[in-house]
Structure 1
Amino acid sequence: MNVSKVSSDDRIGDGINTDEERNTKKVWFKVVGGESMDNMMVDSPSVREVSWKEKLLGGNGSESCDLFSDGDLVIKDGDILQSSIDGIPTIDFSDQLRNILVRDMETTVIVKLLSRNIGYGVLHNHITSLWKPPQPFRLMDIENGYYLVRFQSRVNYDSALTQGPCIVFRHYLTVQL
């Protein structure tokens, strides 16, 4: 490995500084084109790197955060029927699939800030500080200033609905089922 040594005596300047003001630390630089540091790596046990999603959700990757974690969603032939009535496409779901979709939307509310637009991050922070849910919630941006807030527990959902009027930036935050 080619290495060059730079000493504090090798500096460029007018020489006005005294020896007490000089930095006596020696710095070592690796010369470009020298040996690679790859051969100095010691075999380490393979550690699975945590993804950004896992860091954000606070998981370790072993458990899944899917909507249908029970494994109860099995789509069979005939569960989803697509048709067209008078040129308008329609989609019909079976009762089993409809119950699954309804169950997943039971703890979801629609919120909108009246007379003002608000960004996703700002609304998320205000909802967290207003309702103080002990469990995380999902905030989904739909169009025209409307957002879906999906809570993980029925208790958080009920407290969001029953708390008094919420005011953000001196505007009412409407909460709808």
Structure 2
Amino acid sequence: MPRKNIKNQANQNFYMLHKVLFINEKYKKLSDSAKVTYAILNDRVSLSIKNNWIDQNGDIYFIFTNENLQEVLDKSKNTITKIKKELQEVGLLEQVKTGFNRPNKLYLHEIETNITIEKEIQNSTSNNDESSDIKDSQIMGLQNPKQWDSRIPNDGTPESQNLDPNDTDLSNTDYI
């Protein structure tokens, strides 16, 4: 397998997942699927701009059928409906009916944030001292960083702790 190289790094595409979705109390309770869906829909907005899908108010809309979303997320129709409902309930997604047998226009709303949340995000990205690491891990709901020790465990040798690696060839990572 080749090393990461500057030539192939430029070809990588990815979805941007906003940190506010994990810190702001309003969005914290969203399911992971809803957060990922927001990132996917947010990516679709840039395509809408290229296609000039802008309404008379200057708002950007896009069309993303439930079937397409099912395929991208590998989720059932009912799950997609629940995810969209989650996003609508927190004010991140708006669906406008366009007529019989026509897909809805989707409008993505901006994520609400404030200065306190922005400071929390800044604190979570700076790892100046151990106390801020512990605080950040608690904000994010993670374990104590002191437990992330890679030394030999007390109950065996490193060989006894060998775990099977993830087989990403079977995970269809190209679709994420």
Task: Give the shorter-chain TM-score range.
Answer: under 0.3
- TM (normalized to structure 1)? 0.22
Larger fraction in helix: 2
> Quick one: higher RCO (CA 8 Å, sep 6+), 1 or 2?
2
Q: Pick the structure with greater CA Rg.
A: 1
Larger fraction in strand: 1
- TM (normalized to structure 2)? 0.22
